[in-house]
Amino acid sequence: MHPELHEHGPDEVPHTHPDPGVDPHTPLAGGPRALRIGIGGPVGSGKTALVAALCRALGEEIRLAVVTNDIYTTEDADFLLRNGVLPAERIRAVETGCCPHTAIRDDISANLDAVEDLEEKLGPLDLVLVESGGDNLTATFSKGLIDQQIFVVDVSGGDKVPRKGGPGVTTADLLVINKTDLAPMVGADLSVMDRDAKARRHELPTVFLSLAEDKQATPVADWIRGLVAARV
């Protein structure tokens, strides 16, 4: 049916095709592909700032690309470009039709296509960061899209956020509590957040961060370095 794709030469070894015409490839073979890390969290918690910091910290040492899912499509990608942290060809924006959580959990096709296109265009990558659009505390990534997920909350959302839980806080592989520099100004008690996060998350790690002070997001970058190293 596709003779142009399958030519039989004169010295062909005799063989049969048990299922001619059927695509034998399963999508998403777990072969040598990049580690994929999802970054989710409420609007304004600092997801894009974290991605920018990780690009600054890791962009020179590993092969890195970013997929953004902001509801305003190109806004997050533009932020990264304006800040000059990653060349344009390493960033892809995905539209989510007003449903940021659908695009990372229920119907991940556009994100998978974006990740695969980046890997195809740029060659092998070590790490792809998939940043979700700002959503709520229930947003989580599908395991069909990412290997590990980071959930970003900030202290100005109130020190009760870890206690409220929700799948993002309780199940994310890394919980990042951002904007610790604002804690005194908003009356947030970091020890309460730490205690509640431990209670909710048991063994899963939590880090405190102030992206205003730590432009390389050091604890998060180190966590990712460990994952990338463990993969090769």
Q: Is 152 helix (H, G, I), strand (E, B) or coil?
A: strand
Task: Find out whether 232 is annotated in a ligand binding site.
Answer: no
Sequence-separated (6 or more) residues with CB below 8 Å from residue 27: 112
Alpha carbons 169 and 157: distance in angstroms, whole number: 13
Instruction: Show the site string, 183-222: x = touches another protein by CB under 8 A, - = not.
Output: ----------------------------------------
Q: Helix, strand, or coil here: 214?
A: coil
Q: Work out which of 7, 11, 14, 26 binds another protein, going by CB under 8 A.
A: 26
Pairing of strands 91-93, 35-40: unpaired
The verdict on whether residue 22 carries a ligand-binding annotation is: no
Phi-psi category of residue 187: left, alpha or beta, with phi > 0 → left and psi -120 to 50 → alpha: left
Q: Which residue in 33, 95, 190, 194 binds another protein (CB under 8 A)? A: 95
Options 10-18, 108-116, 162-170, 219-227: segment touching another protein (CB under 8 A): 108-116
Nearer to another protein, 40 or 162 (CB): 40
Query: Does 121 participate in binding another protein (rule CB under 8 A)?
Result: no
Cβ–Cβ < 8 Å for 63, 126: yes
Can you give the binding site for another protein, defined by CB under 8 A? 1-2, 5, 19, 21-23, 25-27, 71-75, 94-99, 102-103, 106-110, 112-113
